[in-house]
Amino acid sequence: QVQLVESGGGLVQPGGSLRLSCAASGSANNFYLMAWYRQRPGKQREFVASVTKSGITNILDSVKGRFTISRDNAKNSVYLQMNNLRPEDTAVYYCQFLQSDRASWGQGTQVTVSS
């Protein structure tokens, strides 16, 4: 069992920035992909960004140029730097770590972009 702990969410004004963090507890480190998803109000959960352990990244078109995903394999952590935030970025953000035989999800962290 892998426990993922997220942090960094909060309330921010449009144009502001937040950095989300997600770390796996324990000694598990055999993750081949780390990703961020979000669920906006009234919408289903959607993919935002991912990074493989080797550094290959993928990112949602609507956040390109504003969001950056990164990882620290040694710390079993993944980060999402969110700049120039917009109200439509308001969502619960979830991290996902993939192992060969399972997917683990964080508890979600609320990001609210509002004046």
Could you read off the pLDDT of 18-71 as tens digits, one per residue? Answer: 999 999 987 667 889 999 999 999 999 999 999 998 899 999 999 999 999 999
For 47-59, letters b (16+ CB in 10 Å) and e give ebbbbeeeeeeeb
Please state, in angstroms and rounded to a whole number, the distance separating the CA atoms of residues 31 and 88.
30
**How large a percentage of the chain has pLDDT more than 90?**
85
pLDDT on residue 27: 67
| Widest distance between CA atoms in the chain | 43
Which residues face 94 on adjacent strands? Answer: 37
